[in-house]
Amino acid sequence: MNDFMSHEKNHVLVISAKEAFITKTLQKNLRDAGYEVSYSTAEVENISRYADLNSVNMYILYMDEDLQDDMKLLVFLKDVSVEGDKMVILIGNQEELNAAMQVLAKENLAAWFERPINMHALMDKVRNLTDKQAIENRKKSILVVDDDATYLRMVHSWLKEKYRVSIVNSGMQAITWLARNHTDLVLLDYEMPVTSGPSVLEMLKSEVGTSNIPVMFLTGKSDRDSIKAVIGLRPERYLLKTISREELLAEIDRFFISQRAMGV
């Protein structure tokens, strides 16, 4: 058996303005290599059907001049890359790639290729990325919830080498994300607009499907009343944002070690 076929997640979504010979050829090459492949036209409404299923782990966008200024599409792909931790590959001419990278920064992209496409190079890259993804999938997953974008990026950078990290910037985004995705731990801010951290934890505890998700508060709220208010909701830890990178990693490591010791 082709060893790439053994990966748990090998679903590639090919996207273009319209299905043409080159995108059909790309889909055939991917299927022949053992990947599950779907196709979507470039409307976000169509693509999001696959995102909602949470089955796609790689998006390949074949660009043309009609798509290089499609901000809604590019923002969507940036979001699935950053928040959904999905791989995004762009194919286009240099002008189209330059325009796209005004929205999708290089660090949000798994790869990019200029047209005319070198199919062998693209397939080699896809294989390499899915090999890395298989390793990544074996890491424990953590969802970080905070309305401070700067703090989110910092915590993501602290944890990403050792854990699979996803980020959302509101309590309701966390609830929506957890309805569609699995995580091994949630790091939750306390004080957020609209839906606070304690409200998020209360909602998670009240639903059968999410009641057992471990949650640690990672917050700037250090007063006794705030801490007492959530003790009854049984968070795993109550950590302050003044914590250092080394201390945070140590706390998370200890938590997962204790989980393994209990056979969880």
- pLDDT per position as a tens digit, 175-210: 999 988 889 999 999 989 888 999 999 999 898 888
pLDDT at 245 over 50: yes
Q: What is the largest CA-CA distance in the chain?
A: 65
**Segment 125-146, tens digit of pLDDT:** 999 888 876 666 668 899 999 9
Q: Which of 28-32, 120-124, 194-198 has the lowest mean pLDDT?
A: 194-198
Q: How far is CA 86 from each of CA 8, 77, 83, 95, 223, rounded to the nearest angstrom?
A: 14, 9, 8, 24, 38
Please provide the DSSP assignment of 203-227 as one string. Answer: HHHHSTTTTT--EEEEES--SHHHH
CB 71 within 8 Å of CB 103: yes
CATH 3.40.50.280 placement within the chain? 3-137
Residue 264's pLDDT is 58
Bridge partners of residue 263, in order along the sequence: none
Residue 259's pLDDT is 80
Rounded CA-CA distance 108/79 in Å is: 9
What six digits make up the tokens of 53?
A: 């299923």
Rounded CA-CA distance 259/213 in Å is: 12
pLDDT at 240 over 50: yes
Average pLDDT over residues 107-133: 89
Q: pTM, whole model, 2 decimals?
A: 0.54
Highest mean pLDDT among 12-16, 72-76, 217-221, 225-229: 12-16
CATH 3.40.50.2300 placement within the chain? 141-261
Q: Within 13 Å, how many C-alpha atoms sit on residue 69's CB side?
A: 2
Residue 146's pLDDT is 95
Residue 220's pLDDT is 87
CATH architecture observed for domain 3-137: 3-Layer(aba) Sandwich (3.40)
Amino acid at 33: A
* Assigned CATH for 141-261: 3.40.50.2300
Amino acid at 154: M
- The H-or-E segment that residue 127 falls in is helix 119-137
> What value does the mean pLDDT of the chain take?
86
What six digits make up the tokens of 113?
A: 């290729």
